[in-house]
Amino acid sequence: MTYVDGFVVAVQTANRETYRKFAEAAAVVFKENGALNVVECWGDDVPEGKLTSFPMAVKRADDETVVFSWVTWPSRQVRDEGMKAVMADPRVQPDTSPMPFDGKRMIYGGFEVIVDA
């Protein structure tokens, strides 16, 4: 069964193109290390909540946009091995490729797919 890593971040709206280029470059690294696909979605209709919401979760500022992303892997085992390689790859290290978002406010997690209709 496939496995999915999900991510939610806040990106400065003015840095959309910078983020897109960063995401495209990172997608290459993920796919080289076993990912089936990488999807990056720029928030277009992401309302503020009263109790919970994507904007609240990432502490989105007025000049930021919520980005929702996921990476699909063939299995948890492939993901565990692939993610280690991705995290060690110099092409996605903050020193060589600065992240265009605040990683401290990123929400992420791994998910076992239970329905894929």
The reported pLDDT for the residue numbered 103 is 86
For residues 4 and 77, the answer to whether their CB atoms sit within 8 Å is: no
The reported pLDDT for the residue numbered 99 is 81
pLDDT per residue as tens digits for the range 27-52: 999 999 999 999 999 999 999 999 99
Domains of the chain, earliest start first: 26-62+75-101 (3.30.70.100)
pLDDT per residue as tens digits for the range 56-76: 999 999 999 999 999 999 999
**Rounded to 5°, angle at Cα 11 from 6 and 16:** 105
The reported pLDDT for the residue numbered 94 is 76
Instruction: Quote helix, strand, coil % in the chain, to nearest 5.
Output: 35, 25, 35
